[in-house]
């Protein structure tokens, strides 16, 4: 019963948020990262001097020259490299005091 109620509340809140965005399109957040070098790992290619258009936290397009977009925040990347969808999820584990391999293993078991 709790799961059904929580699911219903979640669904209604998502629906309400979607309706607000449809009524007020100015709530959309648009960010353009221009002059970026994009490394596309899924296609195995490198794209130089591209603009990445991000709308509400999702990459919408990667283009050569972006169209003028109202209310868009533009950030010049100055030739920096960007790898979309790359998440660094590694950690370093050591014991804080009197480091030994046994203590390190105990910390590792804690994090796992």
Q: What mean pLDDT is predicted for residues 22-39?
A: 78
Opening angle at CA 50, ends 48 and 54, nearest 5? 145
**Residue 46 located in a structural domain:** yes
pLDDT averaged over every residue in the chain: 76
Residue 15 lies in a domain: no
Strand partners, 61: 53
pLDDT digits (tens, 9 = 90+) for 66-102: 777 788 999 999 999 998 877 777 777 766 667 777 7
CATH number, domain of 75, equals: 2.30.40.10
State how far the alpha carbon of 35 is from the alpha carbons of 16, 32, 86, in Å.
37, 10, 19
- What is the three-class DSSP state of 58? strand
pLDDT value at position 23?
47
pLDDT score at 48: 93
Total structural domains within the chain: 1
| pLDDT on residue 104 | 77
Q: Is 5 helix (H, G, I), strand (E, B) or coil?
A: helix
40-49 pLDDT, tens digit per residue, is 877 888 899 9
């Amino acid at each position: 019963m709790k799961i059904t109620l929580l699911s219903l509340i979640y669904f209604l809140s998502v629906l309400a948020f979607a309706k607000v965005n449809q009524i007020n399109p100015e709530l959309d957040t648009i960010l353009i990262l221009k002059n970026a070098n994009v490394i596309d790992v899924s296609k195995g290619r490198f794209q130089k001097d591209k603009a990445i258009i991000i709308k509400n936290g999702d990459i919408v397009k990667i283009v050569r020259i972006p169209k003028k977009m109202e209310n868009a925040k533009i950030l010049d990347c100055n030739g920096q490299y960007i790898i979309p969808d790359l998440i660094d999820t590694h950690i370093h584990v050591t014991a804080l005091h009197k480091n030994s391999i046994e203590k390190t293993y105990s910390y590792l078991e804690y994090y796992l």
